[in-house]
Structure 1
Amino acid sequence: MSLHKFTHLLAQTVEELSTYSSLKGVFHEHRDGGPLPSGKVLKEIIELCRSILFPGFYGKSTVNSHTITYHIGVNLERLYGLLTDQILAGLCFASEEGCAQNKENESGCNKHCKEKAAELAAAFIAKMPELRSVLATDVEAAYNGDPAAESYGEIISCYPIIKALSSYRIAHELLVLGVPLIPRIISEMAHSETGIDIHPGAQIGHHFTIDHGTGVVIGSTCVIGNHVKLYQGVTLGAKSFPLDENGNPIKGIPRHPILEDDVVVYANATILGRIRIGKGSTIGGNIWVTEDVPEGARLVQKK
């Protein structure tokens, strides 16, 4: 069928899709020098981080004790360059002025953003030894928590929780440093990759693990202690939140649970609101919890 026959319809649709009212809220206007962060590059950044944090398991498998310094050095150098560029894109996105490159602000906003991006990238890289240390405890927790696991190497290579946690801990550090947008992109990439949804704003202690993992949701203001274990399908979420005088949701308030040390939450449990699950408690599967649970409690369905 001839395209000419529908030329008027196509032109009309183009016009409707280009109107301001249609674009409001869904259009990011590109400014020179201020592109959005790239999902493709952020994926490479995550892979570089994993190859540095778990050398030999990610990246080049031929690395050994004689080449490890060179391997980490090359990857860190590339990571610094890529991360600086992506943080700059995030800063430009968040800036009201867009950090556009032009004669008026070439030496102003843009220069400041470039310097800040480089500073933030360096600050993140300085945190990587600490990230590796805490991720090592997560590997240990996953190994000790699963009788089917035969080695730490199997945990690192095969278990989705390590991919999810490495992405979460990277995103969390970037969020703490004040990097805009990128932490959320990284967390949603991990969500797509593993089925585990951990908001980068959550605070999670050491020796944390999730068995199986699929369908787990951890909200932005969750606080999780040390040696905590979750099973698949667990939701650590919020109840309905208050609205302001204009009917808009009030943001920035703590609205997700606090899980103290040594808590175990079994499959498909739902824990909602700013409640406290006491140290050493066990929450059984398929339970809806909206009130505080005392230390050492065992909450299960009634027979």
Structure 2
Amino acid sequence: MQSDSKILAKINQTVDRLSDPESYDLVCHEHRLGEPLPSTEKLAKIVNMIREILFPGYFGTTSLRPNTIKHYMGVYVDELFELLSEQIMAGLCFTCKNPHEVDMQERNRHAQMLASEFIAYLPEIRRKLVADVDTAFVGDPAAQSQSEVIFCYPAIRAISNYRIANQLLKLEVPLIPRIISEMAHSETGIDIHPKAEIGESFTIDHGTGVVIGSTCIIGNNVKLYQGVTLGAKSFPLDEDGNPIKGVPRHPIVEDGVIIYAQATILGRVTVGANSVVGGNVWVTNNVPPNSKIVQFKARETSFSDGAGI
């Protein structure tokens, strides 16, 4: 058996190696004293609070009673403002490239202004989500009510996070929108980049495995099924061989399109309005409006001793 001194020496050596700056240079953020750090726990609380504000009676513990709802809304919105201002501030600090030139009081006021602008947009987010919920209800014979959709359908949670993150991104809040969208990815298996542009009355049936890339543009009344990928074919490189950022490389899906399970649509192609893309189809070219894209029909054939395979 190893002596206590040898065990202690091993532990100390490990601590020294883990503390070596060269070992974490690319994956560690140097925290500056007095600046808040983004917190996934606090952001999860923020998302749950926003869901409770948008859908009172469904998330959290708030009861939808006319005589108390305004009180609860006031309390929650006030708390949301404080929490969100802090996390926006953390995102601004975390991504700052010239921290010594920044007035922290001015940055804090900017964070509060962004939080207030986001909160002012909450009624519009609710309006869009109500349309998303109703579309899911109308399009699914198994749904008994809009309430069941809100309570049970993972797509509503993922789309809620997307619409929250997308608005924060439009306000130029750094980092925080991506964390919020990845929370929904972990919770539901639905991966929607917050930069994607998605229209109204959007729904995802079942949902698991859906991927929507950052430069996707999706119109109104679009329905996706599980496993659909709206992705990129490749990444253009600059003269040094590094990926060029910000190039539109994901599909455009126009109004009224239905895309069935496991379909893969890659590149900056357009799926025309009111088209149907069948399951397990691979699409890398434009699809005209009112089209129906399906697999070749199955063929029946027989083989003898492997002949013909």
Residue identity in the other structure for 2:76: N
1:159 counterpart = 2:160: no
Contact 1:63–1:71 (8 Å) recurs in 2: no
Contact 2:52–2:62 (8 Å) recurs in 1: no
Instruction: State how far apart, in whole Å, the 1-side matches of 2:94 and 2:87 are.
Output: 10
Instruction: Note the alpha carbon deviations across 1:218-243, whole angstroms, 9 max, x for none.
Output: 00000000000000000000011111
Determine the structure 2 residue equivalent to 1:38: 39
1:132 counterpart = 2:126: yes
Matches within 5 A, 1:194-205: 194-205=188-199
Residue identity in the other structure for 2:178: R
Normalised by the length of structure 2, the TM-score is 0.93
Query: Structure 1: 5+ residue runs without aligned partners?
Result: 100-104
Secondary structure of 1:230's counterpart equals: strand
Query: Structure 2: 5+ residue runs without aligned partners?
Result: 298-309
Q: CA deviation at 1:2?
A: 4.3
1:69 counterpart = 2:70: yes
Q: CA deviation at 1:68?
A: 1.2
Instruction: State how far apart, in whole Å, the 1-side matches of 2:280 and 2:3 are.
Output: 58
Instruction: State how far apart, in whole Å, the 1-side matches of 2:132 and 2:25 are.
Output: 43
Q: CA deviation at 1:62?
A: 2.4
Secondary structure of 1:301's counterpart equals: coil
Determine the structure 1 residue equivalent to 2:25: 24
Determine the structure 2 residue equivalent to 1:266: 260
Give the ranges of 4+ consecutive aligned residues of structure 1 lying more than 6 Å apart after TM superposition: none
Matches within 5 A, 1:39-118: 39-98=40-99, 108-118=102-112
**Radius of gyration: which is bigger?**
2
Name the % identity: 58
Secondary structure of 1:142's counterpart equals: helix
Instruction: Note the alpha carbon deviations across 1:175-199, whole angstroms, 9 max, x for none.
Output: 0100000001001111011110000
1:5 counterpart = 2:1: no
Determine the structure 2 residue equivalent to 1:223: 217
Determine the structure 2 residue equivalent to 1:121: 115
Q: CA deviation at 1:10?
A: 2.6
Instruction: State how far apart, in whole Å, the 2-side matches of 1:75 and 1:136 are.
Output: 20
RMSD, matched Cα:
1.2
Structure 1 residues 23, 294: closer, same or farther in 2, change over 3 A? same
Instruction: State how far apart, in whole Å, the 1-side matches of 2:5 and 2:240 are.
Output: 49
Moved more, 3-12 or 69-78: 3-12
Determine the structure 2 residue equivalent to 1:238: 232
Instruction: State how far apart, in whole Å, the 2-side matches of 1:278 and 1:201 are.
Output: 21
Instruction: State how far apart, in whole Å, the 2-side matches of 1:276 and 1:122 are.
Output: 36
Residue identity in the other structure for 2:110: K
Equivalent residues, number = 296
1:146 counterpart = 2:140: yes
Secondary structure of 2:67's counterpart equals: coil
Instruction: Note the alpha carbon deviations across 1:10-57, whole angstroms, 9 max, x for none.
Output: 333222222232121111111112232111110110011011111111
Secondary structure of 2:174's counterpart equals: coil
Q: CA deviation at 1:109?
A: 2.0
Residue identity in the other structure for 2:159: L
Normalised by the length of structure 1, the TM-score is 0.95
Instruction: State how far apart, in whole Å, the 1-side matches of 2:40 and 2:21 are.
Output: 27
Contact 2:56–2:63 (8 Å) recurs in 1: no
Secondary structure of 2:94's counterpart equals: helix
